[in-house]
A and B are shown apart, each in its own frame.
Chain A
Amino acid sequence: MKLRRSMLFLPGANAAMLSTAFVYKPDSIMFDLEDAVSLREKDSARLLVFHALQLPVYREIETVVRINPLNTPFGHADLEAAVRAGVDVVRLPKTDCAEDVEVLEREVERIERACGREVGSTKLMAAIESASGVINALAIAKSSPRLIGIALAGFDYVMDMQTERGDGTELFYARCAVLHAARAARIDAFDVVWSDLNDEAGFLKEVDLIKRLGFNGKSLINPRQIELLHNAYAPTEEEVEYAGRVVAAAAEGERKGLGVVSLNGKMIDGPVIDHARRVLQRAEASGTRK
């Protein structure tokens, strides 16, 4: 189980941020070649990301590159740079249907073969940014075994829906649809960015909501948000203590060859044990909630 609570966006043209971002320790770092890069700097950002990805420090953290859509003049070159540099995950923006992912997958495989990378080693994620994408979320989520997750991108989505970002009402259906698609496909689900850095209370309220809905995590635009997010996702001491007892009881049951295990009179089955392991994993990553 890879922990993916925080996915930090980095503008691909910013040399300083690309050289230092690993110190903030998000779960994943996303080098952005799309919206954060102006048209005249696309070539420069692409090469900067290509070389930054090969820094030894980025072998210790999951790397993601958000490429430009493949139907733009930049998408294919972005993909060449990302795959050849050994990125872990390619993020496809503006994914409207399963075929978008299938086209991407074919291109990734072609590049992997051309540069000698193991076929299948480059993972994919799709960002859903339109009403069509939300409607097709399940087909998108099941479109490739390379997909590790799908993300909802809020800004473009609300524009497509002819509304604007507010208290979350405007994203309610999309969040639920994307999340259900991800869970049905057994992949991760990522929530939208929170762009008002000065509204910490608003950020934490949104994090609380998406955590309760079941999202794995959230895309972030500033390192300041990482610790807040990780703390919100950290379990309480009581949750850790109970999870520890669940895992121990499960291990004991397995040792004794029991099919069903109980703890304090309650049956512990697979989903409960999986949940307990996730609780312990979050606690190991960032301690208990402060």
Chain B
Amino acid sequence: MKIVKEALAGTLESSDLLVKVSPGPGTGLEVVISSEVMQQFGAQIDRVVRDTLARLGVTAGLVVVEDKGALDCAIRARVQTAVMRGAEAKTINWSALS
């Protein structure tokens, strides 16, 4: 999936996260994460975000995540939503989302 425009998903409310995707300045994939629980769960959040992007076939773009203590399920959902909005995807490949 190719990110073709800037898009947002999520909120900055507690237990949620805000994900911003954009085509990015370079040709590769850059993931920037900030979180209230970065020290304890930063590695886990990074793993979930990158795994979700990989399942969607995202190989390029800038992904900025501002986490407010979200569970993994919310992280996956918000990243997927932002990517689909940024890729202007009209249909969902459900098997890639689980």
Interfacial chain A residues near B76, Cβ < 8 Å: 47, 51
A48 near B92 (CB under 8 angstroms)? no
**A50 interface residue, CB < 8 Å from B?**
yes
Residue of B nearest to A80 (CB): B94
B13 near A15 (CB under 8 angstroms)? yes
B74 near A15 (CB under 8 angstroms)? yes
Which of B14, B77, B81, B92 meets A77, CB within 8 Å?
B92
Q: Which of B1-43 contact A (CB under 8 A)?
A: 9-11, 13-17
A20 CA to B70 CA, complexed, in Å = 11
Q: Mark A142-171, 1 if CB is under 8 A from B, else 0.
A: 000000000000000000000000000000
Q: What is the interface residue range for chain A against chain B?
A: 10 to 19
B14 near A48 (CB under 8 angstroms)? no
Q: In whole Å, how far is A57's beta carbon from the nearest beta carbon of chain B?
A: 10
Chain A interface, >50% SS class: helix
**A115 interface residue, CB < 8 Å from B?**
yes
**A55 interface residue, CB < 8 Å from B?**
yes
| B-side interface residues, number (CB < 8 Å) | 23
**A16 interface residue, CB < 8 Å from B?**
yes
Residue of B nearest to A47 (CB): B77
A44 CA to B73 CA, complexed, in Å = 12
Interfacial chain B residues near A221, Cβ < 8 Å: none
Q: Mark B68-98, 1 if CB is under 8 A from A, else 0.
A: 0011011011101100110000001010011
Q: Mark A47-70, 1 if CB is under 8 A from B, else 0.
A: 110111011000000000000000
Which of A15, A18, A44, A54 meets B98, CB within 8 Å?
A54
Which of A19, A43, A80 meets B73, CB within 8 Å?
A19
Residue of A nearest to B8 (CB): A44
A115 CA to B95 CA, complexed, in Å = 9
Which of A44, A50, A80 meets B78, CB within 8 Å?
A44
Q: Which of B29-62 contact A (CB under 8 A)?
A: none
A15 near B94 (CB under 8 angstroms)? no
Q: Which 3 A-B pairs have CB atoms at the shortest separation, nearest pair first?
A: A16-B15, A51-B73, A15-B16
